[in-house]
Structure 1
Amino acid sequence: MKTVLVVDDDPSIRALIRLYLEGAGYVVMEAADGKLAMQSLSGQPADLVVLDIFMPEMDGLEVLQVLRETCRTCKVMAISGGSAKVGMDLLGHATIFGADDVLQKPFSSETLLEKVEALIGLAA
């Protein structure tokens, strides 16, 4: 079974992504911020990290930098809905920092699952 760590400070976004991914057969772990994500990954590796950009404690770009230094093989998909609010292409920055793919919020279950499958394959 493929494991996905969902990192987002919004519990409703984490719950929605969990619903989509578990429905497709993936094992899902959750973290509410970047520090908790790093703690979670030190205890259990993940095939994919779905990583929000805007978070307290340690934002997504900081997490991405650490992941690229410590876990070069794990896949990362950055997600954000705030880029337009701040007038910056933060998802583009995430790609520069090493994200394997990006996804703009809001997104459909189909789009999420297509991107996850493209990155790590089917759940089984």
Structure 2
Amino acid sequence: MKSVLVVDDDPSIRALIRLYLESAGYAVIEAGDGKRAMAALDGQPVDLVILDIFMPEMDGLEVLQVLRGHCQTCRVMAISGGSAKIGMDLLGHATIFGADAVLEKPFGEVTLLDKVTALIGPAAD
């Protein structure tokens, strides 16, 4: 079974992504901020990290930079809904920093699962 680390400071977003991923058969680990994400990665390898850009403590771009030095084989999908509000393309910046894919919030189950499957394949190969 493939595993996904979901990193978002909004518990409702994490819960929704967990629901979508677990219904498709993926194992899900959650972290509420960047520091917790890095701690979670020390304990276990994952196939994919779904990473929010706007978070307290360590934002998603900071996590992405550290992550690329820590786990070069895991795939990363950056997510954000705040870029338009501040007039910056932070998802574009995420690809520069090494994200394999980006997804703008809000998104639906089909869109998320299509992106996840494209990045790491179905839950069970």
| Band of TM-score, shorter chain | over 0.9
Kindly state the Cα deviation for residue 70 of structure 1 after the two structures are TM-superposed: 1.4
Gaps of 5+ in 2: none
CA distance in 2, matches of 1:36, 1:70: 14
TM normalised by structure 1 equals: 0.99
Identity among equivalent positions (%) equals: 81
Amino acid at match of 1:73: T
Q: Which ranges of structure 1 fall in alignment gaps of 5 or more residues?
A: none
Q: In 2, Cα distance between the equivalents of 1:52 and 1:86?
A: 15
SS state of the match for residue 21, structure 1? helix
State how 1:2-81 maps to structure 2 within 5 Å.
Answer: 2-81=2-81
Please give the per-residue CA displacement for 1:53-107, whole angstroms capped at 9, x wherever unaligned: 0000000000000011111111000000000011000000000000000000000
**Inter-partner Cα distance in structure 2 for 1:120 and 1:53:** 21
RMSD after superposition:
0.4
- 2: CA distance between counterparts of 1:84 and 1:29? 28
Normalised TM-score (structure 2): 0.98
The count of aligned residue pairs is: 124
The runs of at least 4 aligned residues of structure 1 exceeding 6 Å deviation read none
State the SS of the aligned residue for 1:88: coil
